[in-house]
Chains A and B, each alone.
Chain A
Amino acid sequence: MNTNTHNPSPHLSLHRDPVDEMLKADAAEHRDAYIDDGGFTLRVIDALPPRPQGVSLAVRYGIPFGLAALAAIVVTFLTDGGSFFIDAAMDISTSTLTASSFGFLVMVGAMLVLAATVARDR
């Protein structure tokens, strides 16, 4: 047994625990008995399937970033050269909740969540 955790102060023990000692002795013998590989590793490696490939980082993060950039471009064109962003910034600076400021905050929030996800995964 892992004595560091189970017996933090063995010297303070006033009486022996024969069951504990028997278990420790038997377990030590059990652990010392090395089982020869005997081709086991080779069998495991032969049986390994191709590991499922995770989606590459470029795809995983490129799609949401790309969509965000595309949305920003579309909004810029639809609002006469970005007046949406200017309106939203003005509304936020005056603490006024309008459709523009709300939409802007949602966009910023989504980008922050995405950035946090990237940071956690790295």
Chain B
Amino acid sequence: MPKALILDGADHKDPRVDYIGSLLEEIMAERGWVVESVTLRRLELDSCRGCFGCWVKTPGECVIKDDAIDLLRKQVTSDLVVDLTEVLFGSPSYHTKLFMERGLGSALPFMIKRKGMTQHPLRYECEPMHLMIGVAREIVQGDAELFRRLASRCCPGAVTEVIDSDASDDKVKELLLVLLNEVGVKV
């Protein structure tokens, strides 16, 4: 059965993020997915120290031994990863970004040129599909656009959307079905 990992990266308990997470779980479970939800703010997650230990000391594994290790492993072995996050100045929330940074080891240290830009190749041949959902109380158009561009740079191939937290339940469900369809969950 396909596996999905839902990461709630909201910095504070947010009823709207909770609702979207529960709805995603329900929809995917109905379609035969094994879903695990994790609330990042409840974990012990230290900040990446920029030591590059995950590149040259313990290749592929972060040297900071906290809850990120288990979660990074789960992320790699999932078929779909869903990030639920607030949108802050066009960037993801603190906790979403904190965990994202800890995944530096999923890239290789080497620099290559691709599409005219220097990049790091990915460590794993097969990356999980990625869905990034930003939840915003009032959607500032520039911030939403920036969030989408940033998400697609951080996770190439990711499907991204910003949802207005005041949107009706029906509208949210409709949007989630479209997004899940885009990442390969048959709805």
Q: Answer yes or no: do A and B interact.
A: no
